[in-house]
Amino acid sequence: MSLTFDIKSININGASHRILLQNENGPCALLALCNVLLLSPQLMSQAGPLIELALAKNEVGLHEIIATLANIGLQMPRSAHSDVDRLLQLLPQLHTGLSINPIFNGSFEDGDEMALFRLFNVSVVHGWLADYDSDPLQYEHICKYSYEGAQKALIEAYDIQHGNIAATEQNRAVIEDAGFIKSFLARSATQLTECGLEHLKELLLENSYAVMFRNDHFSTIFKNDNELFVLVTDLGFKNDASVVWQSLKSVNGSQDSFFTGNFIPATFRRSSTQASSMTTSGARVHASNPFEDPMASHTNASGTDPNFMTDEQYARQLQEQEDARVARNIQRNYEAANAKRNSSNGNKSKAEKDTKKKSGSHKRKRDKLKKSCVVM
């Protein structure tokens, strides 16, 4: 059975729009791309077939989305250096996941995935930057690395320090870089930094849309009155017309809150549906009340309702939960890579010992045969 995605009607500064919502298994890269096409006035002419599809239904199938995007892509002016057919082959992969590699200077490692977004004239941005102003030394050691490159450097440094790779003048620099990389990753587990926020504000034009990559997740970002807002596409808010945006003012969610389509602060009472479905990463939250402090009283700002939570408190709790998840994933990936290498080295050592043991056994056997032989 093909996946289907609910459609929500929203109003942004007096204009009506339709957006695609993300369920628990939602392909965030695909939905973020579609929502930029559905909302951006600059892309309205090329996005006509997708807009018509969203207007005609209350839910849309995955195959319909991919077919519509493919038709739009085929109508786009072809660059002399782009293989449109190859790019369109990547569209189904937007459903299962997209490999994208941010560099800590604010750019991305280029490839077919980035070219696919360029085909639709959609920008992809991130705010996972090292800060030159506050720590120029760290920036010097960090800015040349992408996320994947940083992981490889950490593994290489580990191998050098444990004698698995011979130390040279060149790879000694990797060991030095690794120390800065560990510190940077530990302090930016949300894949967003303070200077990254400023970078996004400078990069995005006023009233412009883009796809933002953060926490291994793609979302639709918008700049309004020099402030950043992320489109709320969680299925739990389908029936709440007052919640359209979540502000992006802090790296940990402490200053973020929810807004209406007209960028007026929205206050809501957290429902059981929102409690189970709302998440910044698209992964379902499994907890009866994951935001409750066990040491706290059941009274709150409302004075009566223990389920009441302001939008700012809710956003902060969600971001803290997401920060912890991403930090655990980074640590697990690093430990798994080291364990794999240790296991490989251990197996190699065992094989060498077995070979030596067998060789010694054969030698003793030959010596014994020689002693038992009688020379005539």
Catalytic-role residue among 28, 126, 195, 199: 28
Catalytic-role residue among 95, 141, 199, 217: 217
In the residue annotation, 195 being an active-site residue is answered as no
In the residue annotation, 143 being an active-site residue is answered as no
Comparing C-alpha atoms, which of 271, 223, 207 is closest to residue 243? 271
Positions annotated as catalytic residues are: 28, 217
